[in-house]
Amino acid sequence: MRAVALHPDVLVVTSALLRTNCVVVRGGIDEDVAAVPAAAGSVGGPATAQPQAEVFAIDSPVLPDELDALPALLEQAGFPAPSGLLATHGDWDHLLGRLAFPGVALGVAESTAARLAAAPGAAQRELRAFDERLYIERPRPLALGSLQALPVPGRCELGGRQLELQPASGHTADGMAVWIGWAKVLVAGDYLSTIELPTFGEGGGVDAYLATVERLRALGRGAEHVVPGHGPVLDAGRALALLDEDAAYLRALREQGAEAELPPGRRSREQRRLHAWNVACSSG
């Protein structure tokens, strides 16, 4: 597991397996928000109460020891324990935050809440199958508990600041990207990866994916860092170039099917296997 600070309020924790990124974001006092008067009779009389620092963890690392180490890592970095978890979409490898912080509420897009409610236990079964293939043992099963369904597009308050939530479907039928405006960090979910092709999961498709590409393009122009679901963090220039590559591949996939050219740097045997999957999904 590797942890890197992108901003005083933003850490990225990257799993050694699948290179999945967990983004930890801290909200504190927003200079643009007026101070809230303290309650009458408080010590100090007219002094004002300030918003307290608050932390959310977005998505999750994968391995049990990484999840177990996450609370201590945040403490060492001077971050309070998370008061909330967010998942960019309903794939199992983004839902494991509850294993690190079992008592903390998990927020997801309304589309993700609907997906998980329609297939109860699916994420847990997929996690068990993955663990069995790789002989991974976990100290406890994944329990998602009750989910907080968030309207998307929309905003989510964090310690006096605002996270902007934008729709991000196409990889799957559900999902959201998270814009951390004050830090200029875009959390993209399973998009914008330099290590794998655009791929389709449950309910995903070319047209929805292309629509998300354009939404991410608008956000990416103002970003200093773009964090994909898997793989290296990108600067704005690389992210925008990657969006062009992904859009070109998706259009070629729609028009040419199996003959579509794969993007440079993503033409390995595994990427060709993913391309064959995409062709099957698109033709179905």
| Structure confidence by residue, pLDDT tens digits, 110-135 | 999 999 999 999 999 999 999 999 99
pTM here?
0.90
Domain count across the chain: 1
Distance, CA of 53 to CA of 216 (rounded, Å): 28
- Domain residues for the domain of 7 are 2-283
95: its two tokens: 């839902």
Least confident among 28-32, 40-44, 192-196: 40-44
Strands across the sheet containing 54-58: 2-7, 10-14, 21-27, 54-58, 84-86, 106-109, 147-150
Q: 258: pLDDT confidence band, cut at 50, 70 and 90?
A: very high
What's the average model confidence in pLDDT over 83-99?
97
How many Cα atoms occupy the beta-carbon half-sphere of 93 within 13 Å? 19
Closest CA to 100 of 128, 73, 137: 73
| Residues 191 and 168 sit within 8 Å (Cβ to Cβ) | yes
Task: Supply 153's token pair.
Answer: 């597009």
For residue 251, the domain's CATH number is 3.60.15.10
